[in-house]
Structure 1
Amino acid sequence: MYIRNQTCGEIKPVYSSSFRKTTPKVSGNKAVFVDERYGYEAIVLINLSSGEEEIICHVPEIHWQPDIDKDWIVWEDWRNGAHSRGDIYAYHIPTKAEVQVTNTPWGDWFPSVSSGWVVWQSQKYGNH
């Protein structure tokens, strides 16, 4: 996984591993991505300045599509199994608090976060 500074054009590795790192997103000096080194998909936050890493969601299930904006991370979460059809979770970085955003019998996918707002695609009412 690499990052490019658009101001100076510098490209540098963010993370190097034999395990897949997917769907990176960046906000300021922080990046979030899916890390498969544990045998399942974990959500990981990395400080781009220091290289310090924090595992945000380490529950042994599927976690997809992370997004980050300033102090918030959101992702699609399948910890309640296939019957959950996907829920949206959020994590407040300063307080380290995890919040379940959705808990419905419909599929909730592809979250995005900006300025404290979370938006996602929902299967409710056939709205895909």
Structure 2
Amino acid sequence: MTTTRFQTDPTGFIRDFFTDFTEAALEVDVDPAEVVDRFHTLDVLEVADGVAIDRDRLIAHLRPIRRNLQEYSIHVHETLVQGERLAARFTIRAVMRGRPVDIEVAFFGQFTADGRLRRAHQVTRRTS
């Protein structure tokens, strides 16, 4: 069995995954589908606060992020790994259209050996 970075450094992996994905998503000259496919499997399914998000919805989600997100950072509080699954609790601090936003996230995800996200369940709570 191959050991992956999300197994050896889950805190760094999850912070870098979301930071790198967001950085790539903000590159206006890059096709959103290319960005999504770099970080997710083609059959990705994320359920965020009860809303199912497949590849097409994830691609569509990048357009408003490009328009509205001005600053962001990811602060990982704790992680837990079992095999290809990773659980994390983290906070996203962002400035959206000039307004600061803090969102607490409870994340449960399944990653492939190459570090792409296949499945995720997230529960979020806006704290500011």
- Please tell me whether Structure 1 or Structure 2 has the larger radius of gyration of its CA atoms: 1
Under a length normalisation based on structure 2, what TM-score does the superposition of the two structures give? 0.33
Instruction: Give the structure, 1 or 2, with the largest relative contact order (CA under 8 Å, sep 6 or more).
Output: 2
Pick the structure with more helix per residue.
2
